[in-house]
Structures are given as structure tokens and as C-alpha cells.
Structure 1
Amino acid sequence: MNQSIPAFSDPLLLDWLDQQTPNQLNEAPFGIVRMSREGVVLAYCKSESHLTGIDTDYAIGKYYFTEIAPCANNRMVAAKYALPDLDEELDYILTYVCEPTKVRLRLLKASHSPYQYFLVDRKSYS
């Protein structure tokens, strides 16, 4: 079972995410997409599925920025994952498949992690 879930902006969130199974990620109150270093979806949590309407089983194994979220395939979001380390939050509007939805994104990646993350919080949009 998960220990306490860090807040969306917690500086230690990446370490927590890396230790969770895909099922444990479902307990987070915000959307989580775990990707391989190449951008292939490895985990697509229930909160993210509920927000976008994209089924978890459909998302697994697909390239995130072209097959699941082409609305984020731009310099503001996807291009930043080329950096070896990334921890950035930004306000954004998701527009693919779902109705345009204001969200707070957290782009998270570190050279020591085997994964990279796309996190979505609907409540933190400023």
C-alpha cells in the first residue's frame, strides 16, 4: 500500500513516483502518465483517464505526444523532455479528445530515473 502521497508540487514527488507500481499510481488525486525515456506510455492512471476520456488500456504502449496527447506535442511541453533533467510547472489547456480543460501541468524527468512523467492537476490552475 502507498505511504502518504506527496503533493503535486512536492520536490520529492519524482522519487515517490518511481517507487510506485502502476496500480499504486491510481491512488494519486492528480493525473499521472509514466513514460519510458522515449515517450511510450507505461502507466496511465485512473485520474488521467477520467479527465481525458482515454482508456488506460488503450494508452499503454502508445507514444504519448503523437498518439495520446498531440495537443501537448509542441515546444511548450513535449520538446522540454529532450532535457536530461526537467521539473517544470505550467498552466495549460488540454484540448485533445476531451473538452478544453484548464489544468496545471508538471513535467518531470531526472537523469537518474528510468521514467519521465506528465502530471495533470485540474485544481491548481491559476
Structure 2
Amino acid sequence: MGFDADGLHARLEALDEAALDQLGFGVIGFDADGVIRRYNAWESRATGLDPARVLGQPLFTVVAQCMNNYLVAQRFEDTVQGDTPLDVVMDYVLTWKVRPVPVQLRLLAPVGAPGPACRYVVIRRLA
């Protein structure tokens, strides 16, 4: 399964943690309150942040403040009020606690989020 796979949200939801860790891109899954519930090994290696350190922490205010803006965090909030799922790919530069890193983000949320399913920020590093 790749970053560009069709139906990626449903596919990620179906994976257990071991399978999530086998993916070749970063995956951060968070709940309706923005708390990180899933954090794969690829993302941990890329950031140097141990999953035990980030699981249970707020994504946009504690772990990845560089995504707490209208381009990323606000898009998830807008999905709550919409009736279509969020599935957007965008070029972005991560800047929190690291040198600027060009990436592509894929933002994924189901219809009617928040709900029982996670929302996801999927990260493909370009450099």
C-alpha cells in the first residue's frame, strides 16, 4: 500500500499497529479531540520522536505545532461541518524542531468526522 493508494483512509483503519509500522511513509492518526492515537515506526524514525512520547498527546498544539494553521488543522475542523470526506494531498514544509523539510501531506478524514474513526496526516518526505 502506498501514499497514493485509493481508499487510503479505510485501508489505514483496517491495519493493526504492526502492519502500520511496515508502511514506507509516515502516519499519524488522531481522534476527534486532536489526540494522537496512532503513530507509525516510519514517522518515529523520521522525526526522532518515540511513539511512547507522542501517543496520547495533542497533535497540533504539542507534537506538530507547525501544522496548527488554516492549511492543515483547520481543514480537519472544516470537515466536521461538511458532508464529504477529506482526502487532500498538498506540498508542505515541516519546520518544528527540525530544519525545514519539504514533504507532501495527505489529509484524511471520514464523512461526518469526528466519529469513531481516526483522522490521519500521512507524510511523504521529499528530501
- Fold equivalence (TM over 0.5): yes
Partner of 1:8: 3
TM-score (structure 1 length as normaliser): 0.88
List 4+ stretches of structure 1 deviating above 4 A: none
Number of aligned residues: 119
After superposition, the C-alpha distances for 1:23-74 in whole angstroms (9 at most, x for unaligned) are 2211100000011122110111111111122111100000000110000000
1:18 equivalent in alignment to 2:18: no
TM-score (structure 2 length as normaliser): 0.87
Residue identity matched to 2:107: L
RMSD of aligned alpha carbons: 1.5
1:40 to 13, 35, 39: 35
Query: Do 1:32 and 1:44's aligned partners in 2 also have CA atoms closer than 8 Å?
Result: yes
Identity %: 31
The answer for unaligned runs of 5 or more in structure 1 is 1-5
Partner of 1:3: none
Partner of 1:119: 122
1:77 equivalent in alignment to 2:72: yes
The answer for unaligned runs of 5 or more in structure 2 is none
Query: Do 1:102 and 1:122's aligned partners in 2 also have CA atoms closer than 8 Å?
Result: yes
